[in-house]
Amino acid sequence: MKNAKNIKACITAIGGYVPEDILTNEMLEKMVDTNDEWIVSRTGIKERRILKDPKKPTSYMGIKASNKVIEERNIDPMSIDLVITATVTPDLPVASTAAYIATEIGAKNAFSFDIQAACSGFLYGMSVAKSFIESGRYQRVLLVGADKMSSIVDYTDRATCILFGDGAGAALFEASENEFGYEDEFLQTDGNGRNYLKIDAGGSLFPPSHETLDKKMHNLYQEGQVVFKYAVSNMLEATQKIMERNNLKGNDINYLVPHQANKRIIDSIASKTDIDSDKILMNIERYGNTTAATIPLLLNDNKASFKKGEKFIFIAFGGGFSWGASYLTWSI
């Protein structure tokens, strides 16, 4: 859908944070029955960062990433109107992680809430942030994508423990001062997907109990092949829809910014949309799947290269199922 109004939202600053501790494929070989060659060929992942200190929850990383945004943009945190955190690993179940991050970074005039759209969390959060800017009511919206995946991964399950890492990224959304900014989006969900990618217990369907713990129902479960199939076909459809209705060919796109779940998924989509591999931002090799943090970490690692007017396609797929694509022209 095109925005019918004349205010455009843009990203004016980006920050990122990953923990220092590295979990390599070689280290995983000693923990479960797996090996480096298998992991790299199937997923593209060589290592991930892990926030080892059990006293440090997701907000610890979100605060670090957010403070870098404030520093980069050189703004008073009191000027931030809204803090949104996309996460599947909130610090606590009832108080939002965003509220804690907002207070800790000094954004005391902001209101804040968490959104939950799994691996599409940051992509969806961009849509929420830009809507607040486009409404004209707010000037500065901080979007944080942060996940401590190590808090929900079962490190005895070789199918999932190789995939995930911890990290956080943040982006500041403001009204664009030129013709560039958030252009278009195509976002979709399918609730049947929750049979294939989920954590069974911890919600109202299976509240936590000794039985749910003994049955390992609090850890991430996915049917890898089903998820792979849906991820490729749905992200491809979303990408093609966005490219078609904005008259974009593969050559027109400067950066494809894909959620980092699996290198083979991303390569498959890129090849079918004629987007050259050198235009695809990737960090899965170093970080694994950091869920809501993959996209802002990609932006943070590459921001020095971005130029005004360059065209970005963002894509994601994840739990729900939730997926989509969005189109942004760089504004600063």
**Positions 105 through 134 that interact with a copy of itself (CB under 8 A):** 108-118, 120-121, 124, 128, 130-132, 134
Q: Put the strands of the sheet holding 255-258 in their side by side order.
A: 182-189, 322-329, 311-318, 255-258
Catalytic residue among 25, 119, 262, 300: 119
- The nearer residue to a copy of itself, 183 or 301, going by C-beta atoms, is 183
209 binding a copy of itself? (CB under 8 A) = yes
> Of the ranges 27-35, 64-72, 199-207, 268-276, which one interacts with a copy of itself (CB under 8 A)?
199-207
Residue 261 backbone class (left: φ over 0; alpha: ψ -120 to 50; beta: rest)? alpha
Six-digit token string for 43:
């997923």
- φ and ψ at residue 167, rounded to 5 degrees: 175, 175
Q: Does residue 321 have a cis peptide bond before it, meaning omega lies within 30 degrees of 0?
A: yes
Q: Which of 91, 143, 145, 169 binds a copy of itself (CB under 8 A)?
A: 91
Q: Which of residues 143-162 bind a copy of itself (CB under 8 A)?
A: 148, 151-152
Q: Which of 156, 178, 192, 277 binds a copy of itself (CB under 8 A)?
A: 192
- The nearer residue to a copy of itself, 209 or 305, going by C-beta atoms, is 209
246 binding a copy of itself? (CB under 8 A) = no
Catalytic residue among 259, 262, 283, 300: 259
Termini Cα distance of the chain: 24
Six-digit token string for 314:
């963002």
254 catalytic residue (yes or no): no
| CB-count exposure of residue 325 (10 Å: 0-12, 13-18, 19+) | buried
> Of the ranges 87-95, 225-233, 247-255, 282-290, which one interacts with a copy of itself (CB under 8 A)?
87-95
10 catalytic residue (yes or no): no
Nearest CA to 128 out of 78, 185, 212, 213 is that of 185
> Of the ranges 40-48, 180-188, 229-237, 276-284, which one interacts with a copy of itself (CB under 8 A)?
180-188
Q: Which of 52, 213, 245, 249 binds a copy of itself (CB under 8 A)?
A: 213
Residue 23 backbone class (left: φ over 0; alpha: ψ -120 to 50; beta: rest)? beta
Please list the active-site residues.
Answer: 119, 259, 289
